[in-house]
Structure 1
Amino acid sequence: MKRLLRLFPDTVFTRLFGLVVAVLLTSHLVMTSLFLFFGPHQPPGPPAASSQPPRSSLRPTLPPGSAPLLRPPPPRSNRPHFPPDFWLAQLVTLAIISLLAWYGARRLTRPIQQLTHAAALLGDNLQAPPVEEAGPEETRQAARLFNRMQDKLRQQMAERSRFLAAVSHDLRTPLTRIRLRSAQLEDATLQAKLGKDIDDMAAMLDATLAYLRDDAKEEAWQWLNVTALVQAMAEDAEEQGYHVSTSGHADRLYTLPASLRRCLENLLENAMRYGGGEAEISLLCAAGQLRIDIHDHGPGIAEAQLDTVFEPFVRLEESRNRHTGGTGLGLSIARDAARRMGGKLTLFNAAEGGLTARLELPLDTAAALYQA
C-alpha cells in the first residue's frame, strides 16, 4: 500500500483523474453487462457444406403406414457473439477517454498548483510576480485574494522599514548626548560604568535593528560552495586567535548566501564564546540533505532550555556576564535564516561533552520549499 501511495501521491489531480477513470470504467462495465444479457443474439447461420451424402439418403426405409421419427432442433445459443473488433474498439475508446480525462484534470488543477507554489515562495520573496487569475471561479477568487494579501504585506514591510530608519536615528541621538555628557563626569569609576551601560544599550540596539532588517530584507538565490565558505570562516577565526577545525566535504548548494553565512557566523560565535575559543565544524551530505555540525567543548545547555534559547532576547544565566556579552538574538537570527533556506536548526548536548548545533539544509531546495 505504501508503494502504491508513492507512485500515486494524494493530490487533487490524482483524485480527480482517478474519479473520472473509475466512472468511465463503471459505465463501460454496465453497458457491456447489459449488452451481454439483453443484446441481439447471433442468428443461426446456413448449414455448412458437407461431402457426406444427404441425411435423407442415409435414413432407414420405414415400412408403409408407420409415422416418421421426429428429432428436436438443435438448441440456439442465447449468448451474443463479440468479435475481436468489438473488444479492440472498447480498448481504443477507453484509452482516448482516459487521455482526455488526464488532460482535463491537469488543466483544472494547474491553477491550484500555481497558487500552492506561490504560497510556498511568499515567505522568501515578497516581490514575486502575482499569481495568474485563471481557471474556475473558485480558483480565480483564491488567486485574487492571494495577490491582495501579498500587496498588503509589501505595504506593511515598507512601513516597517521606514519605522526602523526613524527608530535608528531617534535612539542613537540621545545615546550620543549621554555619552558626551558622561565624559564630563569627574568620577572616573562612575564614568566607566556609565560608558559600559551606554555600550550595552548601543549593542542591543544594533542587534535588534539587525534582527529586524535581516528578517525583512530580500535576497536572491545563488549557487554557493559551502566547503569554501566554511574554510574561509575557520581562517578568519584563526586570525582572531581562535582554533576552529573543519572536516568533511559538501557539494555546491543552491541557497541564500548571506543568510547562510549569517547563520553559521552566529553559531560559530556562540561556540567559540562558550567553548573556550575552540570549535569543530563538520560537513556531511547524506539522504538528500546537507548537515553542518558546529561542536564546542563548553558546559552545554540544560535539556529543558534547548528550545527556549531560540526565542528572541532569551539568554542563559552565563550569558548575562558583561565580559561575555550577548543580547539573546544570535540563535533567533540563525533559526530564522535556516527556515528561510528551507532547513532546520537544532541543538543537542554531545555524548562526549559540549554542545552541538546542527544545521540541516535540503539539497533539492525547490522541492523542500514546495512542501513547506
Structure 2
Amino acid sequence: MRAPFNTLFGRLFGVLLVAIVLAHGLAYFWFHHYGQPPPPPPPRPEQFIEPPDGARPPPPRENSDRPWFGGPVVPLTFQFFSLIIAAWYGAKLLSRPIQRLSEAAERLSLDLDSPPLDESGPREARQAALTFNLMQKRIREQVSQRARMLGAVSHDLRTPLSRLKLRLEQIEDTRLQGQMRQDLNDMIGMLDATLSYLHEQRTSETRQWLDVQALVESMSENAQDQGSDVQFAGTCAPLQVQPMALRSCLNNLIDNALRYAGSARLELDDSREALVIRVIDHGPGIATDKRETVFEPFYRLEGSRNRNSGGVGLGMTIAKDAVERLGGRLTLEETPGGGLTAVMWLPRA
C-alpha cells in the first residue's frame, strides 16, 4: 500500500489531499455547530399586539447566544494557511532530490573520487542517484584507463629513445648530432610533462586552511635565493584550499613569467568574497585572440614563446586545472606598459 506514495508525485499528492480533506472537514464541523441559528417560533395569538397606524413593527432581536466566531472567517483562514503549509512542504519534497543531485555534481567536478550519492528516498530520487553514481563510476574508469594507457605508452617509449641517444654518439656530423639530440630531449620532456599532467589530474587532495600569504612569500624568497627576480606585495587572510594544487599553479605561472620576461611580480588582493593573486611580467605578452588557446595542452605560440625557450606547452594547462579544482578561475590580461598578467580568482565561500 505504500508503493504508490513512494514517489515524488505520490507524496506531493498525498500531502495536498490530506490538507484539503482536513480543511473541508473543519469547515463542515464549524458551520454545523456555529452556523445560522434556527428561526424563532411564531408568536402566540394572545401575545400579538396590533401596532398603531403608521408605526413600524420592532425589528427582530438578534440571537445573543451566537458566538463572534460563528462566521466563515475562521474556517477559511484555516484552509488558507493549511494549503500554504502543504504547498511549502510539497515544494521541499520536490526540490530536495534536485538539490542533492546538484551538490553531488559540484563535488564531482572538483574531485572524481567524491563519495557517491545515497540511493534512498522516493523512486525518482533513487533512480536519479543510481544513474549519477553509474556515470561517476564510468568517468573514473575512463580517466584511469586513459592514464594507464598513456603511462604505459610513455614508459615503453623511453627504451627506444634511450637507445637512440646512445646511437647518436656514432654520428660524425656534429651539427646533425646536436639537432637530433635536441629533438630527442624534446620528446622525453613531453613524456615527462604528460605523466606530470596526468598525475595532477588524478591527485585527490583534501582542502585545508592555508596561510596563502606565507606560501607566496616563501616561494618568492626561494626564487630570489636561486637568482631569479621575483617580487611580492600585498596581504591576505588564510584560505581553505588544496595546498599542493595551489603551489603547482603558482610554480607554473612564476616559471612562465621568468622564462619569457626574466622577472615576475606577485600581488595579493584580498576581500570578503574572494582572494585574487596576480602574477605580473613585462615580457612580450600574448595577443588577445590567443589568450584562451594557450590553456590547451601542448599548445605553443610562435616567436619568443616556443619550445626553444623551454617548456612543452603544459604549464598553463596544469595551472588552469589546479585553479578550477579549487573552484576558481584563471584568466590572462595585458600588463599596463606591456607584458602579461595571470589573474587567479579564488572564492572564499
Q: Which TM-score bucket, shorter chain as reference?
A: 0.7 to 0.9
The residue that corresponds to 2:241 in the other structure is: 255
Q: Which runs of 5+ in 2 are unaligned?
A: 1-7, 41-49
Residues 1:68 and 1:84: Cα distance change in structure 2 (over 3 Å):
closer
CA distance in 2, matches of 1:175, 1:363: 47
Residues 1:185 and 1:116: Cα distance change in structure 2 (over 3 Å):
same
Out of 311, 320, 325, the residue aligned to residue 296 of structure 2 is 311
For the pair 1:362 / 2:347, whether they are aligned, the reply is yes
* Letter aligned with residue 118 of structure 2: E
Out of 270, 273, 276, the residue aligned to residue 285 of structure 1 is 270
The residue that corresponds to 1:123 in the other structure is: 109
Q: How far off is 1:145 after superposition? A: 0.7
SS in 1 for 2:120: coil
SS in 1 for 2:230: strand
Q: How far off is 1:82 after superposition? A: 4.1
Q: How does 1:235-254 map to 2 (within 5 A)?
A: 235-254=221-240
* Letter aligned with residue 123 of structure 2: E
Q: How far off is 1:168 after superposition? A: 2.1
Q: How far off is 1:331 after superposition? A: 1.2
Q: How far off is 1:71 after superposition? A: 2.0
The residue that corresponds to 1:213 in the other structure is: 199
For normalisation by structure 2, the TM-score amounts to: 0.79
The residue that corresponds to 1:224 in the other structure is: 210
For normalisation by structure 1, the TM-score amounts to: 0.74
Q: What is the percent sequence identity of the aligned residues?
A: 47
Out of 220, 227, 232, the residue aligned to residue 234 of structure 1 is 220
CA distance in 2, matches of 1:320, 1:183: 30
The residue that corresponds to 1:265 in the other structure is: 251
Residues 1:179 and 1:67: Cα distance change in structure 2 (over 3 Å):
closer
SS in 1 for 2:133: helix
For the pair 1:146 / 2:139, whether they are aligned, the reply is no
CA distance in 2, matches of 1:109, 1:321: 51
The residue that corresponds to 1:368 in the other structure is: none
The residue that corresponds to 1:345 in the other structure is: 330
Tell me if structure 2 keeps the 8 A contact 1:273–1:324.
yes
1:128-182 Cα shifts (integer Å, max 9, x gaps): 2221122222221111111111121222223223213311211111110001111
Aligned residues: 318
Q: How far off is 1:312 after superposition? A: 1.9
The residue that corresponds to 2:46 in the other structure is: none
CA distance in 2, matches of 1:110, 1:321: 51
Q: How far off is 1:213 after superposition? A: 2.5
CA distance in 2, matches of 1:323, 1:157: 32
For the pair 1:334 / 2:319, whether they are aligned, the reply is yes
Out of 47, 57, 61, the residue aligned to residue 72 of structure 1 is 57
SS in 2 for 1:291: strand
Q: Which runs of 5+ in 1 are unaligned?
A: 1-11, 46-65, 365-372
* Letter aligned with residue 347 of structure 2: P
Tell me if structure 2 keeps the 8 A contact 1:222–1:256.
yes
CA distance in 1, matches of 2:60, 2:88: 47
Q: How does 1:85-234 map to 2 (within 5 A)?
A: 98-99=84-85, 102-234=88-220
The residue that corresponds to 1:57 in the other structure is: none
Tell me if structure 1 keeps the 8 A contact 2:231–2:264.
yes
Residues 1:44 and 1:150: Cα distance change in structure 2 (over 3 Å):
same
The residue that corresponds to 1:62 in the other structure is: none
Residues 1:89 and 1:329: Cα distance change in structure 2 (over 3 Å):
same
* Letter aligned with residue 57 of structure 2: P
The residue that corresponds to 2:47 in the other structure is: none
Q: How far off is 1:72 after superposition? A: 2.9
Tell me if structure 2 keeps the 8 A contact 1:253–1:363.
yes
Tell me if structure 2 keeps the 8 A contact 1:319–1:326.
no
Q: How far off is 1:247 after superposition? A: 0.9
Tell me if structure 1 keeps the 8 A contact 2:51–2:57.
no
The residue that corresponds to 2:285 in the other structure is: 300
Q: How far off is 1:205 after superposition? A: 1.6
CA distance in 2, matches of 1:149, 1:355: 39
Tell me if structure 2 keeps the 8 A contact 1:281–1:294.
yes
Residues 1:299 and 1:75: Cα distance change in structure 2 (over 3 Å):
farther
Tell me if structure 2 keeps the 8 A contact 1:279–1:294.
yes
